[in-house]
Structure 1
Amino acid sequence: MIPLDILQYAFVVPNLDAAMHEWHRTFGVGPFLVNRDLQIADALHRGKPRAVRFSTAVAQSGSVQIELVEQHDDGPSAFRDTVPAGETRFHHVAIIADDFDAALARYADVEIAAQGRFGDIRFVYLDTSATLGAMLEILEDRPAIRAFFAAIRKAAERWDGDPATLVRVL
């Protein structure tokens, strides 16, 4: 079996802005690139159509990213499957798959918690929470996701640590 590189650790939080400042205060992580009210195409939760309202903030910390996720509605979602509203918890690790379909086939015995598309990028959350304590997100390797992740790395490399520029809304 070929080992997979974990590129991101994600946490669900009740308040995105407060969480970004706490991660910066505690670890010096930043800056965070923020996507508010993300729109997911073809969104499914546990096989049923279900849009979820959420925002993310992503920052580079060494060789990995820290993603913070705030769900804005009370509906069912992959986030609420493991993190109750109002709590902060570790939610998932993320990998990029060169061959998205082959990656899904590798985990054919794992239930899909959620799936959809960000533009032309397919993603899936596999519910590995019972065995690993968190979900696994697989992202399709596309130029747009590589460009986004490169922008996160570049922002961290160029950042002077000033809390006034901690949050960068995309």
Structure 2
Amino acid sequence: MVYLPSRNYMQIAWVVPDLHAAIEHWARQAGVGPFFYFDDVVYENAIYRGEPWQPVKFHAAIAQAGAMQIELIEQLEEGPSMFRELVPPGQSRLHHMSTYTDDFESDLAHYRKSGAEIVFSGLMKGAPVCWLDTTATLGFLTELITANPIKEQVFAIFKEAAANWDGDDPIRRL
């Protein structure tokens, strides 16, 4: 029997040059919102391309759009990162799609066996997360997000806010 990794793609992400402008475009043109803004994303035990990562400052925002989350990321300072690998400064481009997994280690092993290299790994709120280089085969990085109760609570807030959103107040904080 062939192992199939989580196919629960639940998020698609773009790196953008101006986070506020991108939120405005998504909200006004596509009707997606509200976006929850994060300005201090912290990863513990961060490893980038096999070396301890010296974090670069970036901001991100996430909104629910039907069954899919839309994530927008702006890298604020130059330096090596998983974001700059695919998107040069000043440009906007699809960066990654995320799967939500109940079996992080098995999914990671599957992707590694299929030839995907780990670009970035770390812990977010104690749960493993990583980006895998699937650009040659899928055209984007693949993020594995470990299912956990904290994420469930946060994702529920995104879903409820989107279901009741009237177009006002497109940027919020948790």
TM superposition score category, shorter chain reference: over 0.9
Distance in 2, matches of 1:71 and 1:44, equals 17
TM-score (norm 2): 0.92
TM superposition shift of 1:52? 2.7
Distance in 2, matches of 1:169 and 1:98, equals 27
Equivalent in the alignment of 1:42: 45
| Matched-pair contact (CA < 8 Å) for 1:116–1:123 | yes
Pick the aligned partner of 1:110 from 96, 109, 116: 116
TM-score (norm 1): 0.94
Unaligned runs of 5+ in 1: none
**SS of residue in 2 equivalent to 1:38:** coil
Distance in 1, matches of 2:77 and 2:136, equals 25
Equivalent in the alignment of 1:18: 21
| Matched-pair contact (CA < 8 Å) for 1:115–1:124 | yes
Pick the aligned partner of 1:72 from 61, 76, 96: 76
1:22 maps to a residue whose letter is H
Pick the aligned partner of 2:165 from 138, 150, 159: 159
Deviations 1:45-82 (A, max 9, x none): 10111123211100011110100011112111111000
| Matched-pair contact (CA < 8 Å) for 1:121–1:145 | no
Distance in 2, matches of 1:117 and 1:16, equals 24
Which structure shows the higher helix fraction? 1
| Matched-pair contact (CA < 8 Å) for 2:8–2:101 | no
Distance in 2, matches of 1:168 and 1:49, equals 32
Equivalent in the alignment of 2:145: 139
**Two-structure CA RMSD over aligned residues (Å):** 1.2
Q: Matched residue pairs, number?
A: 168
Unaligned runs of 5+ in 2: none
